Amino acid sequence: MAPFKTFALFLAILVPGFAQNLTDQYRETANRLINEALADKAGYEKLAYLTDRIGNRLSGSASLDRAIKWAVETMQRDGLSNVRTIPVKVPHWVRGAESAKLIAPEQRPLHMLGLGMSVGTPAAGITAEVVVVSDFDEMIALGRDNVRGKIVLFNAPYKGYGPTVVYRSTGPSRAAALGAVAVLVRSISPLAMQIPHTGALTYDLVQAKIPAAAISLEDANMLARYYAAKVPIRVTLQMSARLEPDADSFDVMGEIPGRELPEEIVALGGHIDSWDVGRGAQDDGSGIMAALEAVAIMKKLGLQPRRTIRVVFWVNEENGARGGAAYRAWLGDKIANHVAAIEMDGGAESPRGFGYGGEEGGGRGGAAKPPSAAEQSSTAMLQQIGKLLDHIGAAEISRGGGGTDIAPLTHDGVASLGLVTVGTHYFDWHHTEADTLDKVDPDDFRKCIAAMAVMSYTLADMPGRLAGTK
């Protein structure tokens, strides 16, 4: 038997119904969904209300409470079934007043934002000499004697979000281990526009907790030039950040029940919380509104897939990921009925396609693991679905997909996907005051709705199901 025929027979056995090409089987339905999505206005109007009328939505805030109440009402108005909430205890971090000021060799304010979950400074602030390093090795080479009692500035060049964000997330504790009194981090972004970027840090519990803030690329580079010229640098950092007791919050979900296998679930969504700067438009208002509108369009067109489609707005992705964990706990043994989970949390620029299989390359810090035979067959199925999105430029199926909110599902074997966009400007606006509605192009947003609708509907309706990548 020819190799291709052997492989096709293997796929047909492994995945019932695969023998019928999914591109041909779902072309008409996909075109209906795409055409409706590209003409849609309601999704962008909902995003405008969320961002302009409710605003940013940090965990524990009153504005997040308003957003959750509005989300429940909106899902009900869109005609979804089983609209409900899952209680979640979330961290309640309060930024408070904050500033950073260069004292020497000149006096001027620095463009700064405290890092999420940072402790505050004493009321009078911390004034100390600054040492500047490009990476952790440079800091270690300085040694404790040259770091103790000083503020460490991590001026790490941007090499992509994943490789660079470690200076924000772990830098404060690594500097504290050498006796630093505070940390400044060059914002995790490729764009220099005097815009600081916030984001969460994670303290090592065996080290002292020291205050930490991001500064703009321009300010970081200026301090680095002083340091290279051996000009002494002194900075005063003042932060009244504090952590309040955990607050009550909720995940929000609604469904289109399946017509044949209602107990089997395809979940799609993003996170309803955001940082307390900007309006949370790209991160992740666009994700939750695109997911909701994708399902609302199915409802409008009278489409009821074989399995249940569930749209989920997870809470507390930004500074705790407790919403994803609470959802997984709520599922319990019913996780076996989760056919797939799709997360959109990379902004709403023009979609390229979907990543599949959890973290790329076998997980952080691990060697790339070759895909199993079942994963290869699932990729082939996804490529057939991807062809349905070819004319909006979203046909690409890549390895590595998912996201923070669905990571607990991925870990327990649920097939996970993440919408992939061109990502041209996402990290220009990410976690800044500039994350506002005007950064979301309506046409690109509609393409994202279309991609989410076609992928989720087909996965929920097709005869077979994807393999997980546990």
Q: What is the pLDDT of residues 406-432, one digit of tens each?
A: 999 999 999 999 999 999 999 999 999
Q: Is residue 253 a contact partner of residue 310, using CB atoms and an 8 Å limit? A: yes
N-term to C-term CA, the chain: 32
Model confidence at 9: pLDDT above 70 = no
Element spanning 82, H or E: strand 81-94
If pLDDT is split at 50, 70 and 90, which confidence band does 371 have?
confident
The reported pLDDT for the residue numbered 190 is 96
Secondary structure class of 179 (helix, strand, coil): coil
Closest CA to 314 of 267, 257, 244: 267
List Cβ neighbours of 343 (8 Å cut-off, separation of 6 or more).
268, 269, 270, 287, 402, 403, 404, 405, 406, 416, 417, 418, 419
Secondary structure class of 365 (helix, strand, coil): coil
Backbone angles phi, psi at 91, to 5 degrees: -65, 145
Please tell me which residue, 94 or 358, carries the higher pLDDT value: 94
Is 317 annotated as catalytic?
yes
Q: What is the CA radius of gyration of the chain?
A: 24
Other CB atoms within a 10 A radius of the CB of residue 227 amount to: 17
Give the predicted TM-score (pTM) of the model: 0.93
Q: Is residue 169 a contact partner of residue 189, using CB atoms and an 8 Å limit? A: no
Question: Average pLDDT of 73-78?
Answer: 98
- Angle (CA) 383-281-430 rounded to 5° is 80
Q: Can you tell me the distance from the alpha carbon of 314 to that of 423, in angstroms, rounded to the nearest whole number?
A: 22
Percent of the chain at pLDDT above 90?
Answer: 90
If pLDDT is split at 50, 70 and 90, which confidence band does 4 have?
very low
The reported pLDDT for the residue numbered 359 is 55
Q: Is residue 117 a contact partner of residue 93, using CB atoms and an 8 Å limit? A: yes
Please tell me which residue, 35 or 3, carries the higher pLDDT value: 35
If pLDDT is split at 50, 70 and 90, which confidence band does 470 have?
low
Q: For the ranges 7-21, 170-184, 221-235, 419-433, which has the lowest average pLDDT?
A: 7-21
If pLDDT is split at 50, 70 and 90, which confidence band does 368 have?
low
Other CB atoms within a 10 A radius of the CB of residue 115 amount to: 28
- Angle (CA) 287-293-294 rounded to 5° is 90
Closest CA to 132 of 150, 115, 119: 150
DSSP 293-312: HHHHHHHHHT---SEEEEEE
Q: Can you tell me the distance from the alpha carbon of 39 to that of 149, in angstroms, rounded to the nearest whole number?
A: 59
DSSP 188-201: SSS--SS-----B-
Secondary structure class of 184 (helix, strand, coil): strand
Active-site position among 98, 264, 317, 375 = 317
Give helix 442-461 / helix 22-38 axis angle, nearest 10°.
150
* Strand partners for 236: 101, 127
